[in-house]
Amino acid sequence: MLESEVLEWIKFACDTCEVPELAKKITVKFRAGMVRTLGNARYRRNLITLSKEYMGHNDFSSSEKIELVVHEACHLICHYIYKDNADSHGPKWKRLMVKCGLSPDRCYKGNVRIERKSVTKTITVVCLGCLEIKELKTNEYYEYKNSLPLCTDHGGDCTEELISLNGRKFPQLRKENQHVINEAKKRASVGDTKPQRHYVEVNYSDLY
C-alpha cells in the first residue's frame, strides 16, 4: 500500500469521526524491521509509523492493511477528541473504530509473523572438534547469545563448538583457537572443508 493510499484512509477515518481538520496534521512513516508490532501512533507528534514489510507484503490483503491504518488513526483521533481522557483500546477508541465500519477486536501485536524479505545470509564456521568447515545460516549462528552452535555430525559423536571464520562472537575463545581458525581459512580458500581425519581419529578414536 502506497503512502498516498494510507493518507487517504487516514482522511477517511478523520472525516468519518467528524474531525476532518486532523487529517492534515497527521504524518506517516514506513519503518523497516517492524515485524512484531505492525504499527503505532504517537499522539504528541500526530505520527503514525507502519511496518514497511507488512505494508509492502502481498500475503496480506488490502483490507487488513486498511484496518491497521484506521486502527492507528483512531488512536490519534481518540486523543484529539478526548485529550487526557482518551483510552488506548478501550470503549472510546472502539466506538471510533465501529464508526469507521471496522471491528475493534483485533490487536496487531504479535499476531502476524512476517518473514524478513532479506536473502538468507550464511556464515562459514569451523568445528573446533573435527575441524570440518561448513556453512550455517546467520540466524542459526547467532541464535543463542551465550553459546555457540554445536557440530552434531558424524553420528552425533562430535559435539564440539562451531566458530565462525570471520566474526566477533566470543573473542576469548577466538583468541585461544586462532591457529585453528587461521588453518581453516587456508583450507576454506582451497575448498578443503572435510573433517580432518587425523584429528577425528585422535579425538574420536572409537569411531574408527
Chain positions contacting Zn ion, by CB under 5 A: 127, 129-130, 151, 158
Q: Minimum distance between the CB of residue 28 and Zn ion, rounded to whole angstroms?
A: 16
Q: Minimum distance between the CB of residue 151 and Zn ion, rounded to whole angstroms?
A: 3
**What is the rounded distance in angstroms from the CA atom of residue 35 to the CA atom of residue 109?**
9
Q: Minimum distance between the CB of residue 158 and Zn ion, rounded to whole angstroms?
A: 3
Residue closer to Zn ion, measured from CB, 12 or 43: 43
Q: Which residues contact 114 (CB under 8 A, 6 or more apart)?
A: 35, 51, 53, 54, 57
Q: Minimum distance between the CB of residue 197 and Zn ion, rounded to whole angstroms?
A: 12
Residue closer to Zn ion, measured from CB, 22 or 151: 151
Residue closer to Zn ion, measured from CB, 137 or 194: 194
Whether the CB-CB separation of 111 and 130 falls below 8 Å is answered with no
Torsion of CA 57, 65, 115, 27, to 10 degrees: 90
Residue closer to Zn ion, measured from CB, 142 or 199: 199
Residue closer to Zn ion, measured from CB, 86 or 151: 151
DSSP 45-101: TTEEEEEHHHHH-TTS-HHHHHHHHHHHHHHHHHHHHHGGG--SSSHHHHHHHHHTT
Q: Minimum distance between the CB of residue 25 and Zn ion, rounded to whole angstroms?
A: 19
Q: Beta-carbon neighbour count of residue 41 at 10 Å?
A: 21
